[in-house]
Amino acid sequence: MTSPRVAVPRVAVLGLGNLMRSDDAVGMLAVQRLRADHRFPRFAALIEGGTLGLDLIYPLEGITHLLALDAIDAGARPGTLLRYSGDEISTLPVSKSVHLLGFSDLIGAMRLVESAPAEIVVLGVQPQFTGWGTELTSKVDAALALLVERALDQVLRWTGDAAVPLHHAAQSDCLPELVAAEEAWYW
């Protein structure tokens, strides 16, 4: 007798933000730290999405569980960790972030073509300063380690021990900077 086939989640972590806008870079920097973390599952995709919005639809094709990391201006104290999931994602303060508007459009477009992930979580950090600059403010820099830990917790909660890499993804020709080929695994 064969056992029922268990669906293996296809997980991606998407870093959003602008590396040239101080605290806005926190999502991108978190993805870079996850890439270097030996605890991060090699079969989950790490995508540096920057501010690309709808251009991310193809790299996210086939993803069942999406974790987005970003700076989110929700009016909280700088460095505050924020979490949105399910219907809460529609309440994200998109007016404070160009790429959150792009993220909202991206998810909307994926729903229209019936390719949206089954589960989406957004983890963010309240920025203090998003003007020009390449350094995080001290409060957001202090929150970066916690953001990485919470992201890792979420990915491991989704994947458990069930997921295994099936094959190595080729780097996208149209968006080569989005997915580091040595880190991205797709099914």
Confidence check: pLDDT of 126 > 70: yes
- Give all strands (DSSP E) within 72-131, no chain letters: 81-85, 119-125
* Residue 40 to residue 38: CA distance in whole angstroms: 6
At 21-52, the pLDDT tens digits run: 999 999 999 999 999 999 999 889 999 998 87
Give 3 or 187, the one with higher predicted confidence. 3
Sketch out the chain's domains with CATH numbers: 11-186 (3.40.50.1450)
Please report, for the chain, how many H helices and E strands are present, in that order.
Answer: 3, 7
Specify the pLDDT at position 100. 52
Give 18 or 161, the one with higher predicted confidence. 18
Confidence check: pLDDT of 165 > 90: no
* Residue 9 to residue 166: CA distance in whole angstroms: 12
User: Is the whole-model pTM more than 0.95?
Assistant: no
Percent of residues, the chain, with pLDDT higher than 90:
56
Specify the pLDDT at position 86. 86
The lowest-confidence range among 53-57, 98-102, 142-146, 158-162 is: 98-102
